[in-house]
Structures are given as structure tokens and as C-alpha cells.
Chains A and B, each alone.
Chain A
Amino acid sequence: MAAMPDGPLLRCEKLRRSFGDRAAVDGISLSISPGEIYGLLGPNGAGKTTMIKMVCGLLEPDGGEVTVGGRHVSTDLSVKSLIGYVPQDIALYPDLTASENLSFIARLYKLTSDVVRERVAEVLELCELSDRANDRVDSFSGGMKRRLNIGAGLLHHPQLLVLDEPTVGVDPQSRHSILERVQEFGRTGMAVLYTTHYMEEAERVCNRVGIIDHGRLIAEGTRRELVERLGERDRIELSATGNLEAFAAACRALPGVDSVATTADAVQVVASDGRRMLPHLLEAGEPIDVTVNAIDVTEPNLETVFLHLTGTALRD
């Protein structure tokens, strides 16, 4: 890897991008330093992918600027050699072999033939696919494709790795493997921008998290910093049947309740002193014939933070 610059490697300043009347990204600023894994957390449609496309130079911002290593992404083509992009969907030729796919992508970075061979072998080993190097990608399992998709973004030894929801649709074993790899990348000094809507992934791998909703960065910090914002609040999940929307409204009206969100079969509440609130929450459901089947009171985590900040559950 090339020498790391002082200060943040990626710097986004007041990035804006609209599609028609809808602001997909609305004035987001963030920075990532070498060795830092930054999680961009938000529900589907929050603006994560738009943000990532602007960082990678795939989308021109309406306003603001992106620099990597102090160079502007939108004007300096060579800066893209510092970025490794891992798209959300598998972007590989299914009818070419793993080795052919990697060789092709490596050649786009003007690597010499010897270096291409070396890097392809290196990435295949990293992806644990050396024994399948000459097999067509369409014969691979979903997890193998995901690993190769990530590997393709590492061929040119980028300083900044941008991963757009890399674990979507992946089995638990492959997910575990991918997350371990991402943590390793951070340890080697690579800056990582990692988007996900899986809270536990962000908690596990990211040094710092930015919460994005409706195109705005509504909170940013380490996990501890974000959770501490909640003070003594708890997250209470009430699995229930009946009119959950009416139940949520009733809960929301109770003093001490900060935010309420509904999922398909539960109402999630963030409240001060959750255990004390429980009887009141159950009483709120009685007049509207809601049956609470299970209760789960947990310590605050990023999901609680998200619920508290946005008033919606992350996986809505």
C-alpha cells in the first residue's frame, strides 16, 4: 500500500444530490482517516448508495465536493486508483472464470501483466477461491460470488475501500468471514467506508458510525458516543398482535416515552427506565385489544439510537 497521507483520507464536504424534487443526499459532510472503518448506517432509501456513488465518482454531486488523499474525485481521474469499490450487487461476468474476471478488472488499473498475475493469485487466496480460479463465476455459490466481488475491489491495493452493503443475501458463515476480512483491512491501514442496514454489523466492525436518514447525516460518532447520547434510556420491544399502529400511538402518548416504531409484529419503544415503563405500556394496549406476546428490554445499542433519532426501526 502507498504511503498514507496525514489527516483524513476521504473528505466529503456538504455533499448534495437530488433526483427530481427528492433530495437523496442533503448536505452531508464526513471524513475517514487511514485505518478507520466508517459505517454509514441507514434504512433502504436513506441515501447511502447515492453517497457512495458520489464518493467513487460515479455520480456528480449537485453541490459540495469529495476529495481522496486531497485530490478531487470529480476532476482527477487518477484519484480513482486510490479507491476500491465493492458494489451492492455482484458485478462480475458470470460466464468468465474467477481468474478471468479478476485479470480483466486488474487491467483497468493499468497494472503490468506480471503484477496482474500476482494480484489475481493474491486476491483469489484472500477470497479462499484459489482452487476455483478457473471455474466460471456462474457455478459459484452466493457466498463465493460475494467474496470474489469484494476481492475485485482490492486488486489494485486501494487506500480507501468502499463497500456498499456487502453482506446482503449472504449466509451467516460467509457474512462472518466478510466481516472478519473488513476488520483486517482496517488493521492494515486501509480506510473503509461501509454501508449497511444491519445494526449488528456496524456495531461489530465499525470504529465510527454515521446515521443517515432522508439524505441527512443525523448523528455521527463511535458506538459509545452515540449510545451515551441516550443517557439511561432503554429499548423495549413488545411483540404483539392486534392494531399495532393504534398501540404505537397509545405508547407514544405516555410520559417518559421518547420514540416509538412499529415493525410487522412488534412495537419498539425507547424510554427512560424501561422496566418502570413496562406496566404502563401493557395497560396502553388493553383498551384497543392488543395482545402482547413477548417483551424484550435491552440495553441501548445503535438500533436504540437509530430509533430514538429517527422514530423508525432500521429495517422498516
Chain B
Amino acid sequence: MRALAIARASTRRIIRDRTALFFLLVLPIIVIIIVGATVRGFSTFRVGVDSVGSGAAGQRIVTALDHSRGIDIAIYTDQKSLTTALARGEISVGVLLPAGLDAVESEAKPATVTIFAEQVNSAQQAAATAVSSVILGQGALVQSASFAAAHSSSSYNQALALATSLQGTTPHVGLRNVSADTSASTLPQGYSYSAPTELVLFVFLSALAGGAAIIETRRLGMYERMLAGPVRARTIIAGEALTYFLLALVQSALIIVVGAIAFGVSWGNPLAAAALVITWALVGAGAGLLSGTLFRTPEQASAIGPTAGIALAMLGGCMWPLSIVSTTMREIGHVTPQAWAVDAWTSLLSRHGTITTIAPQLGVLAAFAVVLLSVSSLRLYQRLR
């Protein structure tokens, strides 16, 4: 009852603080949008094309690329600007259509289309493959037209028009790409990546920054006033822990609801997701209490707390997947609770995880929560006595 009164007063103060509200509710959504839009996966590739002088044949390839699903075309007027754009990462692949492609085609001579791609990651490799596929498709049309023109009375252009018109109706060998569901490497993409990782990041970060409220309450003499009444130190600790726990839950719920409604994030098995949110909120509550007893001034907590939160988030895979870092860094990352929480979310969002499959992560996070809450409660108890 008294702990509830303390939690209510503390929550009311935080809700009334516009800066705290911004960091608690608005900033996470903004970051989810930004990171989600950046980490979009491999569904759309930006392809640069230099088709100067390639004539109608070149234009046909450009149109084919443009009509291909998942390819956005950017036109360049020379090879240098094309390769520069590739080097800057503005495009995934560059396509150089040779000048005079028209004449080469109609004379049935071999032609070479150059594809520039670094292919250092799977996105670029996939883009190069997609572009190659379109160009080879166009090449097949040209071959068919050349063959027909050579063995009939039709001109090359008539044969090409015929081949193009038949392309949609002639049975062809189809190609379907299926990602193997190897549970070791599958990662959620886009908002399904950013929403859970930002949840992990911001719940912890907000709790660390929120430690300032405990310091301020102590400085205001409010704890002393409480203790002068029939209130035990452990009641105050319970009230403060409850505040951070509830705020973490509210923040998580907001991110989950906004993620699901606005960004179409599927949060996986509801029971497992709820267990993970609650366990992570307990970790956040422990971190918030600890911050309130570690730092001496509210300013220290507000400045150092978020910095520490971001550093731990980086190590723990909230900024980029730990699967892309070295084994050593991955092991170091798992010293942080963030890494375990992100692992659990990854399992839920992209591997159909259940409460059983994330049980090890939940266990580790529960241990983190117990340690953080115990240490911080002890420290706060000492401060109150």
C-alpha cells in the first residue's frame, strides 16, 4: 500500500517531466523508424545503369530492369560516376551497357554487358544475381530473335518483337529462391529487427537515466520524511523498484503496440514474448535502482546513464547483429544482458521460438535481474539508514 503510494508519486513525477517522457516514449519510436528503414533487408536493390549510346537495345534492358520486382533504377551518364556511386554505397550494383549495342545485336555479334559489384556482402551478391538474371533473360530474347531472323524470312526486329510477345506465353523454366531455415543464421529484418532491439536498448537506457529521480528524491529529503513516518526502508525500496518496473513495462508495451500496428512487426509467441518483456523489465528496474545509488548527482545519472546504456547496447547487439562481429566480440557481448535479450527476441521473431526455446535466455536474464535488484536494494538500503 505504502509502496504503491511511493510508486505512484514517483511515476507521476516522471510523467510530468517532458524531457523524460521524450526519452521514454517518443525517442524509441523515432529510432525504430530510422533503424528499421535502414536495415530493410534484401527486398529492394538500387541498381545504377550507364546506357549512353546503347540505343534501343540498351533501352530495352533498362526497361526490363526497371520492371523487375525489387530493383530500383538510377541512371548515370558515364562509367566514372557509376563506379563512384557504387563505391559510395549509393547503389548495390552498376550496369554498363556498351555503346552501339543496337548494331551489335542486329548483326548477331556477341555483346558484353558489364556488371560492377563489390559483392562483399550477401545483399550485393543477391543484387548482382538479380541483375544478371534480367540481363540474361534479355540476352535469351536476342538469341531467339537472331536465330529466327537467320532461319526465316523475318527481319531481326520482327523476330525480336515476336520473341518478346511470346515470352509471356511460352512455358519456361522458373526459378524460386527459398531461404534455408537454418536457425543459427536467420535474423529478423527491417522493423522486425529494429523494434525488439530498440525495446531492449531503451528500456535499459531509460532506467539508467531515470536513476536521477532517486538521487533527487534523496537530495530533497523526501526519503527522510518518509522514514520519519511509519515506513520501513524496504517499503521505499519496493516502491522505487515498482516504479522502474512499471515504467519499463509501459515503455515495452508502447513499443510492442506501435511496432505491431504501425510497422507490422510480429512479436512471436505471446506467452514467450510476455515472459521476455517482464524479465527484461525486471532487469531494467534493477539497473534503474542501481543507477540511483551509484551516481552522486542527478546530472551524473542523466549524462553517464544513457552513455553506459548505449555502450552496453552496442556490445549486446542492439545496434547491429552480433552474428556479423568476431567470435571474441560476440563472447564479450554476452557479458551484457542485452545480448541475451536480443538473442531471445531473434528466436521469437524469426525462428518461431517458444517459451521453451528461449528458456536459457530467460534464465540468464532472470539471474541478471536478481543480481541487479539485490545489489541496488542493498545499496539503497545503506543510503536510507
Q: Are B220 and A93 in contact (CB under 8 A)?
A: yes
Does A118 interact with chain B (Cβ within 8 Å)?
no
Interface residues of A in 225-260 (CB under 8 A from B): none
**Which interface residue of A56, A78, A81 has the most chain B CB atoms within 10 A?**
A56
**Chain A's nearest CB lies how many Å from the CB of B89?**
47
User: Which of B182-190, B225-233, B316-324 makes up part of the contact surface?
Assistant: B225-233
Interface residues of B in 165-200 (CB under 8 A from A): none
Query: Binary interface profile of A, 95-107, with partner B (CB < 8 Å = 1, else 0)?
Result: 1100010001101
Q: Which residue of A lies closest to B10 (CB)?
A: A93
Query: Which DSSP category, helix, strand, loop or mixed, fits chain B's interface?
Result: helix
Q: Are B225 and A77 in contact (CB under 8 A)?
A: no
Q: Which residue of B lies closest to A56 (CB)?
A: B228
User: Which of A84-92, A187-195, A203-211 makes up part of the contact surface?
Assistant: A84-92
A2 to chain B: which residues have CB within 8 Å? none
With A92-B220, A95-B17 as known contacts, state yes or no: A58 contacts B230, CB within 8 Å. Answer: no
Does B221 interact with chain A (Cβ within 8 Å)?
yes
Q: Are B16 and A95 in contact (CB under 8 A)?
A: yes
Query: Which DSSP category, helix, strand, loop or mixed, fits chain A's interface?
Result: loop
Q: Are A80 and B228 in contact (CB under 8 A)?
A: yes
Q: When A and B form their complex, what is the total count of cross-chain residue pairs whose Cβ atoms lie within 8 Å?
A: 70
Q: Are B225 and A83 in contact (CB under 8 A)?
A: no
Q: How large is the interface on B (under 10, 10 to 19, 20 to 34, 35 or more residues)?
A: 20 to 34
Q: Which residue of A lies closest to B5 (CB)?
A: A107
Q: Are A110 and B228 in contact (CB under 8 A)?
A: no
B225 to chain A: which residues have CB within 8 Å? 85, 87, 91, 105, 152
Q: Which residues of A contact B (CB under 8 A)?
A: 56-58, 77-78, 80-81, 83, 85, 87, 89-96, 100, 104-105, 107-110, 152, 156
29 interchain pairs (CB within 8 A)?
Answer: A57-B227, A58-B224, A80-B228, A83-B228, A85-B225, A85-B229, A87-B224, A90-B220, A91-B224, A92-B222, A93-B9, A93-B220, A93-B222, A94-B220, A95-B17, A96-B9, A96-B12, A96-B13, A96-B16, A104-B5, A104-B8, A105-B225, A107-B1, A107-B2, A107-B5, A108-B5, A108-B230, A110-B230, A156-B229
Q: Rank and list the top 7 A-B pairs by shortest CB-CB distance, nearest first.
A: A91-B221, A85-B228, A107-B5, A91-B225, A104-B9, A80-B230, A108-B229
